[in-house]
Amino acid sequence: MSERLQPGDVAPDFTLSDADGNEVSLSAHKGRKVIVYFYPAALTPGCTKQACDFTDNLSLLADAGYDVLGISPDAPEKLGKFRDKENLKVTLLADPDKKVLDAYGAFGEKMNYGKTYLGVIRSTVIVDEQGKVERALYNVRATGHVAKIIKDLGI
């Protein structure tokens, strides 16, 4: 498990496959702000709510200069089903070996019903135009999180 990112850190670059198998790199977004959010699993209620919230607010975020990338350990094929079933417009990326999740501090110990286990920590990292971490939010809630980001960013 790696350390959680802090504002001012250089955001670790990555290249991952999207739902269609195309490679997407963080560095390709240089010059724009990027909201990178990490979620446990496609096609689950909380993750669906969060992805739909990002999709519903995508044009607002884009107009304010933000791109949105959602990352989970799911395979690209599952991400494609998720996107198509829910009409998602957010770019979903596959991190099955959890290297990017780990680099961003979004994989580690979690507690659920008194049991400790390793899993995806629902997190959002906002990266500025130069590739530095502007904000790093960990253990966020699926519901209401996008509205909070919009409010906190003054959009």
Taking the C-alpha atoms of residue 127 and residue 133, their distance in angstroms, rounded to an integer, is 5
pLDDT in tens, the chain (155 residues): 568 999 999 999 999 999 999 999 999 999 999 999 999 999 999 899 999 999 999 999 999 999 999 999 999 999 999 999 999 999 999 999 999 999 999 999 887 788 888 899 999 999 999 999 999 999 999 999 999 999 999 99
Query: Which residues are known to be catalytic?
Result: 47
- Phi, psi for residue 87 in degrees, rounded to 5: 55, 45
pLDDT of residue 113: 84
Rounded CA separation 30/81 (Å): 29
Contact predicate 24/91, CB 8 Å: yes
Dihedral angle at the C-alpha atoms of 68, 71, 117, 147, nearest 10 degrees?
20
* pTM, 2 dp: 0.94
pLDDT computed for residue 111 by the predictor: 77
